[in-house]
Structure formats: C-alpha cells, structure tokens
Structure 1
Amino acid sequence: MDFTKSPHTQVSAKTFQTAYKALPATVSGAPTADNTALSVPASHTGKLAYTGATFIPYAVAAAALVVVGGALMTFRRRLGAATRRK
C-alpha cells in the first residue's frame, strides 16, 4: 500500500465526530491482543510489522543459491579449460 499520497489535512474535532460517529463502536468491536490467536510476542520492538513469518526458509534458499551458483561457476570454468586444451 502506498500511503505517500494520503491526505494530511487537519480536521476539527466537531467535523471528525460528525463524519465518524460510528468509529467508537467499530473500534470497540475490533479484536485485541487478548482475544486473538495471533498476538505479538513480548520481544517484538514495534519497529517493523510482525507477520509471524520466520527468516529460516529465506536463509536456506539463499544458502542453496550460493552453493548452486558456486557449483555452476566451477563447472563452467572446468568446461572452458577443457575446451581450450583441445
């Protein structure tokens, strides 16, 4: 989502209450950390969004790509050296 183009104009309290009079009921009906299964862990600092995803699959995929890339470079160099010898 791109929030850079969202309006940033000040709204008076009266205008806000008139336009969003159902907001308190909506907010009070929203799930909280107490009644939802996906609560934020205590170690979460709040600087980034907590998605519940771990970095382990990405680290494994990155390591696998490094290994495959190294193997391909080695194979290509050996293939090139064998071709130059002929």
Structure 2
Amino acid sequence: MYKYGLLNYFEAQFTKVSHEIIKMGPWMNVYLTFEVEPIEKLPSDLQEPSGLAVYDGDGERKEIIVLNEGTDSEYKFTDLEKEQLSLYLDAVMTRK
C-alpha cells in the first residue's frame, strides 16, 4: 500500500481474507477484511486497513479501494496487492 504521492510505500501479503456483499441499487459493494503480513510494516496512520470493491449492475468491477477503520483513506493498493485481492474476488464472484 502507499499513501497518495507514493509516501509510506510497502507491499503487503493478505491473509485470512473475508468479505461481506452489500447491494445498493444497481451497485454491489464487496467489503473485504484481512490481516496484513508483515504487520510491522503498517504505518502508524493506517490503523485497521480493509478494502472495498465496487461492481456495477453488470457485475463488472470498477474499483478496489483501501479503507482505514471502515472509512476512505489516503492509501491505495499496489498492483501486486490488487492482484491478490482480485484472485480472491474472482473466486467469490463465480460462487455468487
């Protein structure tokens, strides 16, 4: 993850990933919770990272964003982190 402006950059491995799906009109939000390895790399201003994947009415993923303590944050996922989460999300969406 990294903060806008490429500050506090680090690569995380996600373990114990789980999700909750919430439909809102034509949109579907998939809230992701996970544990971060190595935990000691988490910056002090990123207390409880999680994720949100947003899908449109056709089931196409539009975005994956980092949440901190359940709300928007200034952090973004790296490409490798998005890849990890995409594999998990693809498996979830095929079972849905």
Structure 1-normalised TM-score?
0.22
Larger radius of gyration between Structure 1 and Structure 2 = 1
TM-score (norm 2): 0.20
Q: Which has the higher strand share?
A: 2
Higher relative contact order (CA 8 A, sep 6+): 2
Report the structure, 1 or 2, having the larger helix content: 1
